[in-house]
Each structure stands twice: as structure tokens, then as C-alpha cells.
Amino acid sequence: MVEQPDWVLTPKTFQGEPPEPPDGRTIDRSKLPILAAGFVQALREAGVEVPVGATLLYVKALAAVNSVNRSERYWCGRTTLITRSEDFMTYHKVFGRYWVGAEFDDADELTTSTSIAVDQEDDDGMSNAGGDDDEAEPDVTMRYSAVEVLRDKDFADYTKLELAEFNHLMNQMRIGGARRASRRQKVSPRRRGKPDLRRTVRRALANDGEPIDRAFRRPKDQARRVVLLLDISGSMESYSRALLRFVHATVLARGRVEAFALGTRLTRLTREMATLDPDRALSNAADAVEDWSGGTRLGESIRDFNDEWAVRGMARGAVVVILSDGWDRGEPELMAEQMARLSRVAYRIVWSNPLKATEGYAPLARGMAAALPFVDEFVEGHSLRALETLAEAINRSANQRGSAEVWPTAVPQ
């Protein structure tokens, strides 16, 4: 029989009141499991959703690193107890209050190194206060604010590491889409809708033919198709990679999604986006698009989309999303004509423009000015937060409009 180490949680561990949270820098290794349980309770009281069984996993992680170092204690908890990025800040504050005795200050930088005297263990196994400052090691290197920093940062300013972090965050974005009534029927649990005669008669057979328990049915609802048109011209080069990642996440998040690239020609990308690997999806798109970072003829590309796909049924009743800065080499009359055609068949048209976040911006470019009267919602597209707003716009129905904006009169030049 293998002897259990003294850190293993047993039913006796949770009997009685937990010990007081650690004060100062001294930690008794034998009490670490029950202190960890108290820390989990403090997180839950602060509103953090800690999964069932995470406490044992946290203690096992502490035992695996075999150290009472505060930095390792911090990251063991971050990786085992936290499942939502929005809980990072709460975890950071609760950790400071519980293990240090003082709440850590907020930080605005992406990474903040906090040097604290760490717990040192003597040769006899007793804990002490950590010695001189020269012997103290940097304790916690915090990245808890990375998400908040990236959320508002312009895609054009992303580094390679930040772009990789953005790719990971895109996996957490939820895009449902607007709903519409289907021709199919479903049982109505409440006595509303159309009478279901067949089910009512079947139930009546169990009551001597008396239709006591009447059944009703109502139409099912299903997600509307979402069509994404991404501008991959040279003026969008700083944003096209991040926006293509958004397109990929949308295709994977739900069915009934179509993706196209707009440049000097129209290229369908739905099949290229239908892979779980984002890097492979981007590579497939680069191979399929022959005019990447070239010129742009938005009006002609939208005309091709209308002729080949939209009016034939793809955009009928769909949410059409155009991701473009609105710069067009073609004639604005053509853009206006094709946007009018598209608006007659689409359920809603949402335009996401990365330049909209620029201070003093007004949609005075010829293509953008011609298209704007036919756009149901005009949103930004330069950052992660802007894409979250775009996802909300996609999910809205026609009677749930976004905030209204008044623009100067745009006269195409």
C-alpha cells in the first residue's frame, strides 16, 4: 500500500472551520491543502465560477511543483481554477487579499512584474520571511490584463505574439445570428398557436374519446443565413488577416454561413474556411485569392455577387456583412445601384469599417458614401471590441436597431 503524502485532501480536511488565511509571508506546508480550499471559497464568494473538483486539481498542482513559492501558487490557481477570461482581474485581487493580506493594485500594462519577497524554506523545513531584498526573486509576472489591452488595440498595431493571442480569443466569440420563423411546426407547451388535431385525437383515445387534453403547435425558428463579404484590397492589408480570422470563427461557430473575398474580382471562400485549423484556413484563402492586397472594385464585386449568388437565393432573407474601408476605384453610381439591389433581397446589411474608429472620421469616400444609405447598421472593425460589437449586430433582428448616428451629407466626388 502506497503511503499518501500529507497534502492529500481527505474528508477530515473539510471538517470544522478552515484556518485563518495566511498572514504575512509564512506558509505552513502541512496546512496548504486546507488553505487552498479556503482560497477557492474566497473566489466563489467574490463571484468567480470555480468548477466542481477544481479544488483537488489545485492542490495536486501545488504538490506537483512541490513549492510554497507565492508565484507558483499564483499560477497554479490561475491555470486550474479560472475558466473565464473575465475572472482574471477578480482572481488577481482575491489572491492578493487572501495570500498576501493586501489587495494588489490594478495595472494598465500588458505585463506587470511585481517583486515581492518570497517564502524561503530553511534546511530544517521551517518557513521564514524571505531574507534580504537582494535574495528576493520576482514573484508574480502578471498577464491578467492582456485581454483588456488587446480588446481595444488597433489590429494594425498588433505584434505577432498579440496576433497569436487574438487567434486564441476568437475561439471564445459566440456568433448566433438573427432568427426567423420556419415552415416546420413544433409542439407548443403552452396552449397557444394552432390546434394540433392529430395529437389531440390521439390523447382523446386515453380519455374515452373526450378531447380534454388539447394539443397545439407553433412554427419553429431557425438561424438566418449569414453572408460575409471581406475586402482584401491593399488599403485593407493591415486588417484583412484579423478580419479573415473573424470570418473563419463565424463559419465554424454556426451553419448557414457563406464567405467571399472582395478585390478586383469576387472569390468564394466558404470551403477554404471550413477547417478547424485557423492557420490552414488562412493559407487556403491565400491560395484561393489571386488578387490579395491588390486593387479594389467594390461596386463590380458586389454586382458579381448579386448576379451569381444573391438574387438567386443566397442573400434572400440573410444577414449580409461587408467588412471594408469603403475605398472603391469604380463609379459610385454602380455602387449605389448594386447596394440597392442587395438591400431588396437581404434581411439586413451590416457594414464594418476599420476606419470608422479614426478621430474625425466621416464616410466621405465615394464608395462608402454611395453605399451608406442602404446599410442597416454601420459599425467599427479595427479591434477585438469592435468585432464583439459586430457580432452583436449580426445577432440582432430588424426590430432591434443599433444606436443611430448622424453623418454629414456625403457628396461623391
Q: Note if the pTM is more than 0.75.
A: no
182 burial (CB, 10 Å; 0-12 / 13-18 / 19+) is exposed
Counting residues of the chain whose pLDDT is more than 90, the rounded percentage is 29
Question: In this predicted model, which residue has the larger pLDDT, 336 or 31?
Answer: 336
Give whole-number Cα distances, 267 to 152, 229, 290, 352, in Å: 31, 10, 9, 19
pLDDT value at 7 more than 50: no
Q: Which amino acid type is present at position 47?
A: G
pLDDT value at 205 more than 80: yes
pLDDT digits (tens, 9 = 90+) for 308-319: 999 889 999 999
Q: 312 phi and psi, to 5 degrees?
A: -85, 0
pLDDT value at 117 more than 60: no
- Confidence at residue 74, expressed as pLDDT on a 0 to 100 scale: 85
Closest among 311, 261, 255, 310 to 281, alpha carbons compared: 261
- Residue 398 bridge partners (DSSP): none
Question: In this predicted model, which residue has the larger pLDDT, 32 or 311?
Answer: 311
16 CA to centre of own chain: 42
For the chain, the three-class secondary structure string (H helix, E strand, C coil) is: CCCCCCCCCCHHHHCCCCCCCCCCCCCCHHHHHHHHHHHHHHHHHCCCCCCCCHHHHHHHHHHHHCCCCHHHHHHHHHHHHCCCHHHHHHHHHHHHHHHHCCCCCCCCCCCEEEECCCCEECCCCCEECCCCHHHCCEEEEECCCHHHHHHHCCHHHCCHHHHHHHHHHHCCCCCCCCEEEEEEEEECCCCCCEECHHHHHHHHHHHCCCCCCCCEEEEEEEECCEEEEEECCHHHHHHHHHHHHHHHHHHHHCCCEEEEEECCCEEECHHHHCCCCHHHHHHHHHHHCCCCCCCCCHHHHHHHHHHHHHHHHHCCCCEEEEECCCCCCCCHHHHHHHHHHHHHHCCEEEEEEHHHHCCCCCCCCHHHHHHHHHCCEEEECCCHHHHHHHHHHHHCCCCCCCCCCCCCCCCCC
Residues 25-47 have a mean pLDDT of: 77
- Confidence at residue 22, expressed as pLDDT on a 0 to 100 scale: 52
Whose grid coordinates read 496548504?
32
pLDDT value at 12 more than 50: no
Q: Per-residue confidence at 27, pLDDT binned at 50, 70, 90?
A: low
- Confidence at residue 133, expressed as pLDDT on a 0 to 100 scale: 42
pLDDT value at 302 more than 90: yes
Closest among 114, 86, 79 to 100, alpha carbons compared: 114
pLDDT value at 83 more than 50: yes
All cell numbers assigned to 5: 503524502
Q: What is the mean pLDDT of the chain?
A: 77
What distance in Å separates the CA atoms of residue 37 and residue 56, rounded to the nearest whole number? Answer: 8
- Residue 379 bridge partners (DSSP): 352
Residues 199-219 have a mean pLDDT of: 82
Closest among 249, 240, 242 to 267, alpha carbons compared: 240
pLDDT value at 59 more than 70: yes
Residues 3-28 have a mean pLDDT of: 43
pLDDT digits (tens, 9 = 90+) for 122-133: 334 434 434 444
162 burial (CB, 10 Å; 0-12 / 13-18 / 19+) is middle
Are the CB atoms for 299 and 334 separated by under 8 Å? yes
C-alpha dihedral sign at 177, 181, 187, 189? positive
With vertex at residue 403, the alpha carbon angle to CA 400 and CA 405, rounded to the nearest 5 degrees, is 135
Q: Per-residue confidence at 5, pLDDT binned at 50, 70, 90?
A: very low
Closest among 51, 52, 72 to 61, alpha carbons compared: 72
Phi-psi category of residue 37: left, alpha or beta, with phi > 0 → left and psi -120 to 50 → alpha: alpha
Q: Are strands 377-380 and 348-353 parallel, antiparallel or unpaired?
A: parallel
All cell numbers assigned to 51: 468548477
- Confidence at residue 200, expressed as pLDDT on a 0 to 100 scale: 82
pLDDT digits (tens, 9 = 90+) for 90-106: 888 888 888 877 665 54
Question: In this predicted model, which residue has the larger pLDDT, 258 or 147?
Answer: 258
pLDDT value at 231 more than 80: yes
pLDDT digits (tens, 9 = 90+) for 363-391: 888 889 999 999 999 999 999 999 989 99
Range picked from 55-64, 224-233, 252-261, 289-298 for highest mean pLDDT: 224-233
Q: Per-residue confidence at 76, pLDDT binned at 50, 70, 90?
A: confident
- Confidence at residue 400, expressed as pLDDT on a 0 to 100 scale: 64
Closest among 345, 340, 343 to 317, alpha carbons compared: 345
Residues 384-400 have a mean pLDDT of: 85
pLDDT value at 121 more than 90: no
pLDDT value at 228 more than 50: yes
Counting residues of the chain whose pLDDT is more than 70, the rounded percentage is 75
Closest among 330, 386, 335 to 358, alpha carbons compared: 386
